[in-house]
Amino acid sequence: MVNCLVLEGRREARERMARLMAGAPMVARVEQAATPLELLSKLESSPAALVLLSARLPEEDLWETVREISLRGSAGIIVFGSPEWASSGAAAIFAGADGFFSWEAGAVRAAGHGSMGTPPVPSPRRALDEQPPLSRREIEVLRRMSLGMTNGEIGNEMHLSEDTIKTHAQRMFRKLRVSDRAHAVMQGFRQNLLD
């Protein structure tokens, strides 16, 4: 069972999403936040395995919130919204979110009116097929990994902390869809990111 935290500025939409998630299998508890600051405060006091962020947040707030949660490394991050917000979802994935799901407006209106009184859980739409590009820093980290350098050595050379290097590496692994350094380097060569 996992705990969820939902961020949506509009009370009605936030409560609707919380109800949808509360009816999902394997969800133990759902908390709500109206602002990024409230969400980060709640996440610190009551850790959650999954954070759902509204794609309607202003882009800068969305990216910064994704970045802050990613740095803490404690929760999966899913951005949600209707299909017209898919580009915000893609931008959030580039910033480090784990995914985006959207639903048709009819499915949302049907929430709470399903058979047996169980609200339907929005089903994910197609995954974004295009791979997000690596940032300049992530490519620098990947190049140094290809030389066999440790995170500590990379951090010393780039004048960054080892934790920052780990964060860049985790984002890079997610973007390349790999689970370790060797596969990341192999993908780097396949995608002509490395010489």
Domain CATH number, residue 41? 3.40.50.2300
Number of Cβ atoms within 10 Å of the Cβ of 85: 18
Asked if residues 1 and 44 have their Cβ atoms less than 8 Å apart, the reply is no
The total number of structural domains in the chain stands at 2
- Do 89 and 140 belong to one domain? no
Asked if residues 43 and 68 have their Cβ atoms less than 8 Å apart, the reply is no
Core vs surface per residue 4-32: b (16+ CB within 10 A) or e: bbbbbeeeebbebbbebbebbeebeebbb
**pLDDT value at residue 6:** 92
- Do 168 and 92 belong to one domain? no
Classify residue 47: in a domain, yes or no.
Answer: yes
- Do 57 and 141 belong to one domain? no
Classify residue 179: in a domain, yes or no.
Answer: yes
Q: Is 121 helix (H, G, I), strand (E, B) or coil?
A: coil
**pLDDT value at residue 113:** 30
Q: Is the pTM of this model over 0.85?
A: no
**Residue with tokens 């899913």, as numbered in its chain:** 78
Q: Which domain holds residue 25?
A: 2-117
User: Which whole-number Å values give the CA distances from 62 to 22, 24, 76, 80, in the listed order?
Assistant: 23, 24, 15, 11
Residue whose C-alpha is closest to residue 13's, from 59, 52, 68, 69: 52
User: Tokens representing 17?
Assistant: 């999403």
Q: Can you tell me the distance from the alpha carbon of 139 to that of 184, in angstroms, rounded to the nearest whole number? A: 11
Q: Can you tell me the distance from the alpha carbon of 114 to that of 40, in angstroms, rounded to the nearest whole number? A: 33
Q: Which residues of the chain have pLDDT under 70?
A: 74, 103-132
- Do 107 and 67 belong to one domain? yes
Q: Can you tell me the distance from the alpha carbon of 137 to that of 70, in angstroms, rounded to the nearest whole number? A: 16
**pLDDT value at residue 149:** 92
Number of Cβ atoms within 10 Å of the Cβ of 130: 8
**pLDDT value at residue 132:** 61
Q: What is the pLDDT of residues 146-183, one digit of tens each?
A: 888 999 999 999 999 999 999 999 888 888 888 888 88
Asked if residues 66 and 45 have their Cβ atoms less than 8 Å apart, the reply is no
Classify residue 123: in a domain, yes or no.
Answer: no
Backbone angles phi, psi at 80, to 5 degrees: -130, 155
